[in-house]
Amino acid sequence: QVQLAESGGGSVQSGGSLTLSCTPSLSAYQPSWMAWFRQAPGKGREGVAVIGKDGRTNYADFVKGRFTVSQDNAKKTMFLAMTDLKPEDTAMYYCAATRTSWSYASLESHDYSLWGQGTAVTVSS
């Protein structure tokens, strides 16, 4: 069974940068959409960014201009380049994927069936 593995989390100061990665455990797995979600302590899970196999992207308003989602040429790994990090970006970041060919770039967690274990990001002021 395919699994998603996130990496790249860590601790940075406000204004710093991190790049997260998400890689499926099976090279044959080809999702239609892959996305990043995050969950801060005591809060619900929220969509951050999504990318489709056709390259379409969508971002939550609170990360536009600061985060960039991308995928490698073989579409085996998804990245989230995060810049100008703020303390409010502190959260567990989760990778998610779906093979359903939604026509829209969803940031709703219920549209994704496969989830990683998460990688922690801490931003200090």
- pLDDT, tens digit, for every residue of 20-44? 999 999 988 889 999 999 999 999 9
Question: If you average pLDDT over every residue of the chain, what do you get?
Answer: 95
Q: Would you say residue 119 has pLDDT above 70? A: yes
Report how far residue 36's alpha carbon sits from residue 60's, in angstroms, rounded to the nearest whole number.
10
Percentage of the chain exceeding pLDDT 70:
98
Host H or E run for residue 71: strand 67-71
Q: Would you say residue 75 has pLDDT above 70? A: no
- What sign for the dihedral angle of Cα 76, 96, 79, 55? positive
Report how far residue 113's alpha carbon sits from residue 109's, in angstroms, rounded to the nearest whole number.
8
The DSSP bridge partners found for residue 85 are: none
pLDDT bin (cut points 50, 70, 90) of residue 73 is low
What CA dihedral angle connects 120, 76, 31 and 85, to 10 degrees? 30
